[in-house]
Every structure is written in structure tokens, then in C-alpha cells.
Amino acid sequence: MGATNLNPGGGNSGAPREPHEERENSSATAGLMPDNPIAAILDVIGRGERFLVCSHSRPDGDAVGSVLAMGMLLEAMGKRADLFTADRIPAVYRALPGAEAISCVMRVHGRYDAAILLECDSLDRTRLRGLQPFYLVNIDHHATGRAFAQLNWIDRDAASVGELVYRLIKAARVHLSPAMAQCLYTTILTDTGSFRYGATRASTFALAAELARAGADPVRIAREIYFSTAMSKLLLLGAALTTLTREGRLAWLSVSHQDMVRTCAAEEDSEGIVDYAISLAGVEAAVFLRELPEGRIRASLRSKGRVDVASLAVAMGGGGHENAAGITLDGPLHRALEEVLAQLRPAVEEISSPPTQGKDPRV
């Protein structure tokens, strides 16, 4: 159906848009946020045949699990789904059902009735080129989520985007298969930090229980994710811990590109290192910096709930959740660190009240 107008609200023309793949989408291009986003999205799916599904670059458990489950939903509805990410799937998620069907590409081609973006606040966040002409559906749960697509569903209370895909599956009255359940359970487990964070609610366990009943295997998933660590990851952690620095309620640590090379680390080996800094007693905000091969710096920010790291990340061109956010900054490493600390120090100094309960560092 190619150029058919899929917009359930009628506000946008269905005609392909000018391709501007490299341009950042701003909130000025904000699209439709319908009152009933589930019905609107199912309507778009119902009227199309071919769909592209993708998520953010450097995909995490929520990105991989929700892309896979979304693909399974589309197939169960008799549609064709092509799944893409710009970066390869981390080894710990490669055993998920259907993971081999995700294509790792730089540019997408072809005709699709809509492109469904999960966990992204912009086209740039996918790091995929060629998405611009498509009718875009944005499904997200980040505090910094933006209505950049023609059709947007942003639910900041959801524990994972997988939880939103689950709601689509239920509303579509599609059978929740063991494979879907395996993928969706992974999104919840990883985005709640293994049910550790403050806002892990009774409803989170209720959903996890339903997914386990539908065929998710919590023990197997835990083994794949938490008991399958590569040696390079622990060696990289060792290098990072030698840089661990504490300044009152702040802590930080970093790895250079040289550390990555020396320990034979893959990008995914840096995931979770920031957790060691934020785990320190008395620390309220933490940063992990990693030097990229080209010299730019990836920063991971974490908070225990009294500092909103999402808004600090947005101020520096990144995004995320109140308690877990990220940014890419210019190097060198020491300058990027100073830039982040210049934002964090005043935010941490503002803390005067006793600790609040109930915030959660979802990722």
C-alpha cells in the first residue's frame, strides 16, 4: 500500500517526506499523540502489509527483546516484519528466539507501510539511515521521549518498552507465545535491573508471572544474561575500577580506548560498569566514561533518585530516564569528565532533604 495515508488522525499527509536522514528531528516536528495509542497503532498495522521494526544503536535488553516481540506480533497478525539495528546484538541476547533475524545495517531500503521505532527519541537515535521517508510510529517509555514521529505512544510509567508491546499483543488478541514471553520477560528483567529498583511495582511482578506462565524461563534467561560474562568484560571492569573516584555524593570511573584494546573488550563489555560507582554508600549520582575509537566519549549517568540525570543529559545533547541516562560528548576524556561534573555538581549540591523512596533507575 506504499503511499496510502496511514495516519489515523488525518493530520499528516501520507505522501513520502523529503529525505533528510542526517538531520536531527526536533520537537518542532511533533506528531500525533492519540488518546488511544494502542488502537491507533493496531489500526496502522491492520491497514498495512510490510513493516520495518528497529530500535536504538548499541541495543540493550529492552531494545532487542521488544524488537523481537514486535516482529512476532506483526507476523501473528499476518504481516511481514523486517527487523533492524545499527549495531550488532550483544552476545548475551543472541540466544533470544528469532535474534538471528535482526539485520545489522547502516541504511534501510525498500517499501514499508510504516517503520516502528522502539525506545528512540529521534531518528538519529537509531543511527540507521533511510528511515525518513516512511510513515513513522514511535513507541517509547523514556522520560525524555519526544513525539518526533507521525504517530507516537510514550508511556513514561512503563517498566520497559516490552511492556508496551505486551499491551499491543493483548489488545490485538494475539496468542502470547512462549517465544514472545521469553523476549518480553528479558525486557522487564534488564530494564528494572533485575527487579532491584525502587519503582519495581506489584504489577511488574504480575506481568513477569504471566510471562513465566506463558513460557518464559526465568532461570534460563538469567543464565544467558548474568552467568555468561566474557573474560574481557571483567578485565575491562578491573581497568575501570582503578580510576574510581569519589567526591562527596558523586562518583565516577572511566576507560580509555587503549583499555578497551588491551582487554580485548567489545562495546557491550562496558555495560553495567557504572553500576559499581552508583552502588557506593552515600553516593547519589555516578558517571562512567568510555573513550570511543574515534575519540568521542560515551557517558553513562546513574542516580539513586534524588538527582534527575535525564534533564542533565538532555542539556548536553543526550537523554534517558530520571535515574539512568546517556550522552555522547567530544573528547578528550578529561574534558568530557569536567563537562559532566560541571552539570552534576550543582545538582548534587541541591540535595538537602532525606532520601526519597520509589524512584527507579530503569534503563
Cell numbers for 150: 507521525
* Complex with ligand 5GP: residue 239 or 363, whichever CB lies closer: 363
Contact stretch for ligand 5GP (CB under 6 A) within 175-183, 313-321, 330-338, 341-349: 313-321
Q: Which of residues 127-146 bind ligand 5GP (CB under 6 A)?
A: 142, 144
Q: Is 318 in the site for ligand 5GP (CB under 6 A)?
A: yes
**Distance between CA atoms of 161 and 206, rounded to whole angstroms?**
16
Pairing of strands 285-291, 297-303: antiparallel
- Least separation in angstroms between residue 321's CB and ligand 5GP is 5
Query: Which among 321, 302, 298, 300 is positioned nearest to 311, based on CA atoms?
Result: 321
Q: Which of 82, 140, 163, 191 binds Mn ion (CB under 5 A)?
A: 191
Residue 90 touches ligand 5GP, criterion: CB under 6 A = no
Nearer to ligand 5GP, 151 or 310 (CB): 310
Nearer to ligand 5GP, 40 or 273 (CB): 273
- Cell digits of residue 301: 549517568
What Å distances lie between residue 99 and 7, 92, 179, CA to CA?
Answer: 30, 11, 11
Question: Which of 62, 121, 140, 308 is the binder for Mn ion (CB under 5 A)?
Answer: 62
H or E element that contains 237: helix 231-241
Which amino acid belongs to residue 332? P
Task: For the chain, state the CA radius of gyration.
Answer: 20
**Could you tell me the three cell numbers for 257?**
580506548
Which of Mn ion, ligand 5GP, none sits in contact with 233, Cβ below 5 to 8 A by type? Answer: none
Minimum distance from CB of 96 to ligand 5GP (Å)?
Answer: 18
Element (H, E) at 173: none
Contact set with ligand 5GP (CB under 6 A):
56, 121, 125, 142, 144, 300, 318-321, 324-328, 363
